[in-house]
């Protein structure tokens, strides 16, 4: 059997495997009588017809409770999106559920306790369906990428549900989806994740999701065909509204047009109180920017760069901007909040209103995968704090069940962006379950013969190993930060086959094709960054082989690592690199991946520093990978002070320049863009990793994954007065706070959680003294080995450490 065939079979096996977190209860197994149901409408026969009105179906099922209820649990999912209600009340807080996956491989279902929503004997379960990524429009992004062709499975939205009622008398009853459900078409006449929603309030069906409705004119639900994916219980944070944002300003740049400024750029929708005549239409458009005359600039959020007639294909709009429409039913007061879509915007343009809206009548709804947010960083620099806030907002805005590169133009889960930023995300949020889901998305996206760029797969496959290696590199960070050895063991055989595929695609070791340091201001050969990622993967597999006790393959991957390191060294270090190349990325890559021999590192350090000095304004010119590498290597091999001075500057290019230009999220490019590039892109958010690793000094130890033992080495730049930093490790909260109290004097506060040991490294000079208190008790001289050197270990406890000017006693 060919190795490629084995890899394909393993992909199939792992796509159908439930993890321990997912398999606690089999709800939709072979013996389940719940069936997929949908409406009776057929898909359009040609692309242009997809853009006509296609009202979203609403389904209802009345049932009678047969006695006092102990507990009622709803299990539900869809291909597309669903919104469930019980007796008219929303079920749960989730939006855009279920999470986007390859529906032909796996579909996640949600579980809700609906006991409090049941009312007496007569009840009604209601479900509305949206298209999501299962029934996308045939928009031809960039003129040629059509999701209806590129996604592995598309079709009419369909759903499956089971309500289990446990009565107090010990009996159990199941209400399942089948042909006894009824459906009609509701007020959402169009819905698309990119183009938005058209809502006709005149089509609302009063009390459609309440018991007692005369639904004799409704149609019987039709049995749908399963999309094919195995149903698995969702184990990761759902998408939920986490913040309601009040506008900071409303103004009218021209007659009949109102601009609502939300104050910050974010991802989500809105809710608004409206007044208008029956049949009139109000139109909402969204953008990250406004033009100088105050009118909306939607161009950085246009889907797939569709900006002129004919690009998007038959029936597509000339410009694929984000928009919603609401048609009035004529009541005194109406509320509108679009469903089954999401936008990225700071500015909302409203046309069709007779009177100017009031700020209190509008709320922006910021939603994202609700990852635990227990970590924090703040400091004495307002600029650094603004960069941190913008970075966190950018990260969350790009978490809509997949980690996207931009949440408007593409919404895709690009692997290169994950490789660049996953540690940054982990420093800010608990990403363990989210990234487990990400890894499974890659399992489902990959094939046995080529590298793909996104998970779920969207037909894009040109970026190469630096993108698909997110499958393996994300596993490593789960291991490093959370000591997640379970996923390593679960996927180890597939990981080995993936490495065999990489060897087939790059038989000589050197990576010759793919995308390199994306958005670098100077060229970077893929032979450098691509082969460095291949080297990183070989080293990861060496570690994984050791974890599972596979000594033979540990040696194999060690030899591969040495081979790849020597290939890069021979090409990019041993001989002069001629031609135009970003030397910042060059030397930071060599140092980050430990390619330069120890006795030659001084030359590499000097070359890196010179490359920075020769950069624009003495700043970074690096791209997606080089920025991560240079933040780390310039700090490690030269000084975090140098990095601080660059980050804490408003000169172009840099993060401070973005903030100075009014950015509230991080841009896709160093250069400001008002037409082409996203203004909400995580790629350059790697600066937050530097905050935690160097200003907070909190770093995992690869030899002791999961922070059983870790490094605590905060840097104290001269122009920074204090830092407050917390990180929630698997063992508990780590605290690293410091303050400059006087010249050459510092007050440190550190918290080490139970079960952990910190290797503390503080700069202590010959004319400085150091003292320690643990849990408010002074530590006697000699109790901590190495204390006076500034390099020592601390176990569980709360510490105050004083480093003060003055000769040691």
- Residues 258-287: pLDDT tens digits? 999 999 999 999 999 999 999 999 999 999
Nearest-Å Rg of the Cα atoms of the chain is 28
Do residues 733 and 774 lie in contact, with contact meaning Cβ atoms separated by under 8 Å?
no
Higher pLDDT, 233 or 29: 233
pLDDT of residue 120: 86
426-471 pLDDT, tens per residue? 999 999 999 999 999 999 999 999 999 999 999 999 999 999 999 9
Question: Does pLDDT of 25 surpass 60?
Answer: no
Q: Tell me: the pLDDT tens digits for 475-490?
A: 999 999 999 999 999 9
Q: Does the pLDDT value for residue 317 go beyond 70?
A: yes
- pLDDT for res 331: 86
- Give the pLDDT confidence score for residue 530 in this predicted structure: 98
Give the confidence band of 781 by pLDDT, cuts at 50, 70, 90.
Answer: confident
pLDDT, one tens digit per residue, over 190-218 is: 999 999 999 999 999 999 999 999 999 99
Q: What residues are paired with 710 via a beta bridge? A: 700, 758
Looking at the predicted structure, is the pLDDT value of residue 84 above 50? yes
Collapse the DSSP code of 727 into the 3-class scheme (helix H, G, I; strand E, B; otherwise coil) and give the result: strand
pLDDT bucket at 130, cuts 50 / 70 / 90 = very high
Which residue, among 501, 502, 474, 470, has the nearest Cα to 488 in the 3D structure?
474
pLDDT at residue 627 greater than cutoff 80: yes
Find, among 185, 229, 223, the residue nearest to 15 by Cα: 229
Asked whether 695 and 725 are in contact (CB, 8 A), the reply is yes
Q: What pLDDT digit, counting tens, does each position of 401-414 carry?
A: 999 999 999 999 99
Residue 645 to residue 69: CA distance in whole angstroms: 64
* 206-223 CB burial, b ≥16 within 10 A, e <16: eebbbbebebeebeebbe
Q: Is 238 helix (H, G, I), strand (E, B) or coil?
A: coil
Query: Would you say residue 338 has pLDDT above 50?
Result: yes
Torsion of CA 596, 600, 606, 611, to 10 degrees: -30
- pLDDT averaged over every residue in the chain: 96
Give this prediction's pTM. 0.97
Q: Taking Cα atoms as reference points, which of 11, 42, 35 lies closest to residue 496?
A: 11
pLDDT at 22 over 60: no
Cα(526)–Cα(510) distance, rounded to whole angstroms? Answer: 9
Region 713-734: what's the mean pLDDT?
Answer: 98
Summarize the confidence of residues 743-761 as an average pLDDT.
Answer: 97
pLDDT, tens only, 635-677: 999 999 999 999 999 999 999 999 999 999 999 999 999 999 9
Q: Give the pairing type, strands 257-274 and 145-146.
A: unpaired
Helix (H) or strand (E) holding 264: strand 257-274
Residue found by looking up tokens 């033979």 in the block: 552
Residue 726 forms beta bridges with which residues?
Answer: 376, 735
What whole-number distance in Å separates Cα of residue 527 and Cα of residue 224? 49
Whether the predicted pLDDT of 553 surpasses 90 = yes
The neighbouring-strand residues paired with 543 are none
> Three-state DSSP class for 628?
helix
User: Span 771-789, mean pLDDT?
Assistant: 93
Span 696-701, average pLDDT:
98
Under the banding of pLDDT at 50, 70 and 90, the label for residue 19 is very low
pLDDT at 14 over 70: no
Residue 646 CB partners (closer than 8 Å, separation 6+):
612, 618, 619, 620, 654
Per-residue tokens: 198: 């058209």
CA–CA gap between residue 416 and residue 683 (Å, rounded): 9
Q: Mean pLDDT over residues 554-564, rounded? A: 98
Q: What is the pLDDT of residue 20?
A: 37
């Amino acid at each position: 059997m060919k190795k490629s065939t084995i890899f394909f079979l393993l992909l199939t096996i792992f796509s159908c495997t439930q993890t321990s977190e997912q398999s606690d209860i089999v709800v939709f197994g072979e013996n389940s009588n719940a069936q997929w149901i949908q409406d009776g409408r057929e898909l359009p026969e040609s692309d242009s017809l997809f853009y006509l009105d296609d009202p979203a179906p609403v389904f209802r099922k009345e049932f009678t409770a047969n006695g006092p209820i102990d507990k009622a649990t709803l299990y539900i999912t869809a291909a597309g999106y669903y919104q469930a209600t019980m007796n008219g009340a929303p079920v749960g807080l989730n939006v855009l559920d279920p999470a986007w996956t390859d529906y032909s491989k796996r579909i996640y279902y949600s579980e809700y306790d609906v006991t409090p929503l049941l009312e007496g004997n007569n009840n009604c379960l209601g479900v509305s369906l949206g298209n999501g990524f299962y029934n996308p429009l045939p928009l031809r992004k960039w003129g040629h990428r059509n999701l209806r062709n590129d996604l592995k499975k598309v079709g009419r939205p369909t759903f499956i549900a089971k309500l289990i009622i446990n009565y107090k008398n010990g009996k159990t009853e199941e209400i399942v989806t089948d042909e006894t459900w009824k459906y009609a078409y509701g007020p959402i006449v169009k819905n698309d994740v990119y183009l938005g929603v058209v809502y006709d309030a005149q089509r609302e069906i009063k009390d459609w999701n309440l018991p007692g409705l005369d639904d004799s004119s409704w149609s019987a639900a039709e049995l749908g065909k399963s999309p094919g994916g195995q149903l698995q219980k969702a184990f990761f944070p759902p998408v939920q509204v986490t913040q309601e944002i009040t506008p900071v300003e409303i103004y009218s740049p021209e007659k009949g047009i109102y601009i609502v400024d939300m104050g910050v750029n974010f991802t989500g929708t809105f809710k608004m109180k409206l007044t208008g005549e029956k049949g009139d239409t109000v139109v909402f458009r969204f953008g990250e920017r406004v033009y100088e005359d105050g009118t909306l600039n939607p161009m950085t959020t246009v889907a797939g760069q569709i900006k002129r007639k004919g690009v998007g294909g038959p029936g597509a709009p000339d410009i694929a901007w984000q928009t919603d429409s609401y048609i009035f039913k004529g009541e005194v007061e109406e509320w509108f909040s679009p469903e089954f879509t999401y936008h990225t915007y700071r500015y909302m343009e409203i046309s069709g209103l007779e009177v100017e809206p009031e700020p209190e009548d509008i709320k922006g709804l910021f939603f994202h995968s609700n990852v635990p947010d227990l970590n924090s960083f703040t400091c004495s620099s307002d600029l650094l704090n603004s960069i941190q806030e913008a970075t966190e907002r950018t990260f969350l805005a790009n978490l809509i069940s997949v980690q996207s590169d931009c949440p408007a133009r593409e919404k895709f889960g690009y692997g290169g962006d994950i490789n660049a930023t996953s540690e940054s995300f982990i420093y800010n949020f608990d990403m363990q379950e989210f990234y487990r889901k990400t890894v499974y998305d890659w399992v489902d996206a990959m094939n046995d013969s080529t590298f793909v760029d996104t998970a779920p797969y969207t037909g894009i496959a040109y970026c190469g190993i630096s993108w698909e290696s997110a499958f393996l590199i994300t596993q490593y960070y789960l291991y490093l930060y959370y000591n997640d050895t379970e996923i390593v063991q679960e996927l180890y055989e597939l990981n080995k086959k993936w490495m065999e595929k990489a060897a087939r695609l790059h038989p000589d070791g050197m990576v010759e094709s793919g995308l390199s340091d994306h958005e670098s201001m100077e060229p970077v050969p893929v032979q450098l960054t691509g082969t460095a990622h291949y080297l990183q993967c070989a080293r990861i597999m060496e570690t994984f082989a050791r974890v599972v006790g596979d000594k033979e393959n540990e040696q194999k991957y060690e030899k591969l690592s040495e081979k790849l390191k020597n290939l890069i060294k021979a090409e990019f270090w041993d001989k002069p690199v001629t031609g135009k190349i970003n030397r910042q990325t060059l030397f930071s890559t060599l140092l980050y991946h430990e390619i330069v021999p120890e006795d030659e590192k001084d030359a590499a350090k000097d070359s890196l520093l010179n490359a920075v000095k020769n950069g624009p304004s003495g700043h970074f010119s690096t791209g997606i990978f080089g920025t991560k590498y240079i933040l780390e290597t310039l700090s490690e091999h030269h000084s975090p002070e140098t990095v601080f001075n660059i980050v804490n500057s408003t000169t172009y290019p840099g993060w401070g320049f973005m903030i100075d230009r009014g950015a509230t999220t991080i841009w896709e490019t160093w250069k400001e863009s008002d037409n082409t590039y996203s203004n909400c892109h995580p790629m350059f958010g790697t600066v937050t990793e530097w905050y935690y690793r160097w200003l907070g000094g909190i770093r995992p130890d690869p030899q002791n994954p999961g922070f059983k033992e870790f490094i605590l080495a905060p840097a104290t730049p001269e122009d920074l007065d204090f830092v407050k930093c917390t990180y929630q490790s698997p063992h508990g909260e780590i605290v690293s706070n410091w303050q400059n109290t006087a010249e050459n004097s510092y007050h440190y506060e550190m918290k080490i959680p139970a079960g952990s040991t910190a290797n503390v490294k503080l700069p202590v000079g010959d004319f400085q003294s150091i003292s320690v208190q643990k849990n408010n008790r002074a530590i006697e001289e000699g109790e901590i080995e190495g204390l006076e050197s500034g390099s020592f270990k601390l176990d569980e406890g709360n510490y105050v450490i004083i480093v003060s000017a003055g000769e040691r006693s």
